[in-house]
Structure 1
Amino acid sequence: MPVVFLFIISKIHAQPKHTISGYIRDAQTGEQLIGATVRAEGALSFSTASNEYGFFSLTAPAGTYKLLAGSVGYRIKSSNLNLNKNIPLSIKLTAEDTHLSEVLISATGKDEHVKSAKMGVERLSMKEIEKVPVIFGERDLIKVIQLLPGVKSAGEGSSGFFVRGGGADQNLVLLDEAVVYNPSHLLGFFSTFNSDAIKDVTLYKGNIPAQYGGRLSSVMDVKMNDGNNQKISVNGGIGIIASRITVEGPIVKNKGSFLLSARRTYADLLLKVSSDSVAKQSALYFYDVNLKANYQLTAYDRIYLSGYLGQDKLGLGGLFGLEWGNKTGTLRWNHQFSPKLFANTSVIYSDYRYHIDLYNTDSFEAHINSQIKDWNIKEEFSLYPDTRNTWRMGLNSVYHTIRPGEYSGDLTLVNQPYTFSWENSAYISNEWKASGRLKIEYGLRLSAFSVLGGDNNFYALNAEGAITDTLNYAKGKIVRTYFNLEPRFSAAYQLGAAASLKAAYSRSTQSLHQLSSSATSSPTDKWVATNNIITPEIADQVSFGYFKNLKDNKYEFSAETYYKRMQHQVDYKDGANIRSNDPIEPQLLFGRGRAYGLELLLRKKTGRLTGWIGYTLSRTERQIDGINEGDWYNARQDRTHDISLVGICELDHKWSLSSTFVYATGNAVSFPSGKYYMDDQVVFLYTRRNAYRMPAYHRLDLSATCKLKERKNFSSELTFGVYNAYGRANAYAITFRQNAENQSKTEAVQTSLFKFVPSVTYNFKF
Structure 2
Amino acid sequence: MLSKILHTFLIVLLLVMPVLAQQTEIRQYKLSGIVTDASGERLEGAFVVFSPGGKGVLANKQGRFSIKLEKGTYEVVCQYVGMAPLKETIVLDGGNKEVVLMLGERSVSLKQVEITTNSIIDINSVRMGSSYMDQKLLTRMPTLLGEPDVVRAVSALPGVVNAGEGTSGFFVRGGSADQNLILMDGAPLFNSTHLFGFFSVYNPDILKSFTLHRSGISATYGGRISSILDVSLRDGNNEKMRYEAGITPVTAKVSMDGPLSEKVTMLLAFRGAYPDYLLKLFPSENIKNSSGYFYDGNVKLKCTINKNNSLSFSGYHSADGFKFPYDTTYSWTNTLGTLQWNHLFSNNFTSTATLVKSIYKNTVEGIATGEEFQLNSGIDLTQLRLNFGYFGKESHQIDFGGEASLYSIQPGDLVPHGTSSFNRRTLNEDRGYELSSFINDEVKLNDRLSVSVGLRYTHYTKVGPADIYMYSEGEPRSIKSIVDTLHVSSGGVVQSYQGLEPRASLKYSVSENAAVKVGANRTRQYIQLISNTAAITPVDVWKLSNKYIQPQIADQIALGYFYLQPDHVYEYSWEVYYKKLYNQIDYKDGAVLLLNPTLDADLLFGDGYAYGSEWLLKKNQGRLTGWVSMTYSRSFRKIVGETEEETINDGEAYPSNYDKPVNLNVFANYKAWPKWTVSANFTYTTGRPITGADSWYRYYNQIFANYVGRNQSRMPDYHRLDLSFNREPIIKEKAEYTWGISIYNLYGRKNAYSTLYQHYYGAPPGAFKLSVIGAPIPSVNFNAKF
Same fold by TM (over 0.5)? yes
Q: Conserved in 2, the CA contact under 8 Å of 1:86 and 1:339?
A: no
Match of 1:756 in 2: 776
Structure 1 residues without counterparts, runs of 5 or longer = 1-8
For residue 271 of structure 1, report the CA deviation from its aligned partner: 6.7
2:476 is aligned with 1:457: no
Aligned counterpart in structure 1 of residue 150 of structure 2, from 141, 149, 155: 141
CA deviation string 1:409-463 (max 9, x = no partner): 1432521110110101000001011111111111000011111121x21222334
Match of 1:417 in 2: 428
Match of 1:406 in 2: 413
For residue 557 of structure 1, report the CA deviation from its aligned partner: 1.2
Match of 2:257 in 1: 248
Q: Conserved in 2, the CA contact under 8 Å of 1:348 and 1:376?
A: yes
CA distance in 1, matches of 2:504, 2:93: 34
Match of 1:80 in 2: 90
2:721 is aligned with 1:700: yes
Amino acid at match of 1:20: S
Q: Conserved in 2, the CA contact under 8 Å of 1:104 and 1:605?
A: yes
CA deviation string 1:529-549 (max 9, x = no partner): 001111101110011112222
Match of 1:637 in 2: 658
CA distance in 1, matches of 2:26, 2:44: 33
2:291 is aligned with 1:283: yes
2:226 is aligned with 1:199: no
Structure 1 residues 471-480 or 517-526, which shifts more? 517-526
Q: Conserved in 2, the CA contact under 8 Å of 1:519 and 1:669?
A: no
CA deviation string 1:709-747 (max 9, x = no partner): 42131111221011111111111222222235xx23332
Aligned counterpart in structure 1 of residue 538 of structure 2, from 502, 523, 535: 523
Match of 1:491 in 2: 506
Identity of aligned residues (%): 34
Match of 1:482 in 2: 497
2:351 is aligned with 1:343: yes
For residue 98 of structure 1, report the CA deviation from its aligned partner: 2.4
Over the residues paired in the alignment, what is the CA RMSD in angstroms? Answer: 2.2
Q: Secondary structure at the match of 2:519?
A: strand
Q: Secondary structure at the match of 1:53?
A: coil
Distance 1:270 1:165, change over 3 A: closer
Structure 2 residues without counterparts, runs of 5 or longer = 1-20, 641-646
Q: Conserved in 1, the CA contact under 8 Å of 2:364 and 2:376?
A: yes
Distance 1:11 1:356, change over 3 A: closer
CA deviation string 1:567-614 (max 9, x = no partner): 111111111111143410111111000000111111112222211101
2:116 is aligned with 1:121: no
CA distance in 2, matches of 1:34, 1:14: 28
CA distance in 1, matches of 2:539, 2:23: 66
Match of 1:30 in 2: 40
Amino acid at match of 1:310: S
CA distance in 1, matches of 2:706, 2:534: 16
CA distance in 1, matches of 2:442, 2:338: 27
Scaled by the length of structure 1, the TM-score of the pair is 0.94
CA deviation string 1:635-659 (max 9, x = no partner): 0110111101000122344101100
Match of 1:4 in 2: none
Match of 1:103 in 2: 115
Distance 1:374 1:637, change over 3 A: same
Moved beyond 4 Å, runs of 4+: 9-12, 269-282
Distance 1:83 1:181, change over 3 A: farther
CA distance in 2, matches of 1:312, 1:485: 39
Aligned counterpart in structure 1 of residue 614 of structure 2, from 591, 599, 603: 599
Alignment of 1:298-697 (within 5 A): 298-317=306-325, 319-362=327-370, 364-409=371-416, 410=420, 411-412=422-423, 414-454=425-465, 456-461=466-471, 462-463=473-474, 464-465=476-477, 466-518=481-533, 520-550=535-565, 552-625=567-640, 626-697=647-718
CA distance in 2, matches of 1:408, 1:448: 36
Match of 1:3 in 2: none
CA distance in 2, matches of 1:688, 1:252: 66
Q: Secondary structure at the match of 2:593?
A: coil
Match of 1:41 in 2: 51
Distance 1:737 1:278, change over 3 A: closer
Q: Conserved in 1, the CA contact under 8 Å of 2:694 and 2:708?
A: yes
Aligned counterpart in structure 1 of residue 247 of structure 2, from 231, 238, 245: 238
Count of matched residue positions in the alignment of Structure 1 and Structure 2: 747
CA distance in 1, matches of 2:601, 2:299: 43
CA distance in 2, matches of 1:141, 1:541: 26
Q: Secondary structure at the match of 2:741?
A: strand
Q: Secondary structure at the match of 2:175?
A: coil
CA distance in 2, matches of 1:419, 1:10: 52
Q: Conserved in 2, the CA contact under 8 Å of 1:18 and 1:62?
A: no
Q: Secondary structure at the match of 1:230?
A: coil
Amino acid at match of 2:91: L
Distance 1:761 1:185, change over 3 A: same
Q: Secondary structure at the match of 1:187?
A: helix
Match of 1:216 in 2: 225
Match of 1:13 in 2: 25
Q: Conserved in 1, the CA contact under 8 Å of 2:241 and 2:256?
A: yes
CA distance in 1, matches of 2:323, 2:223: 34
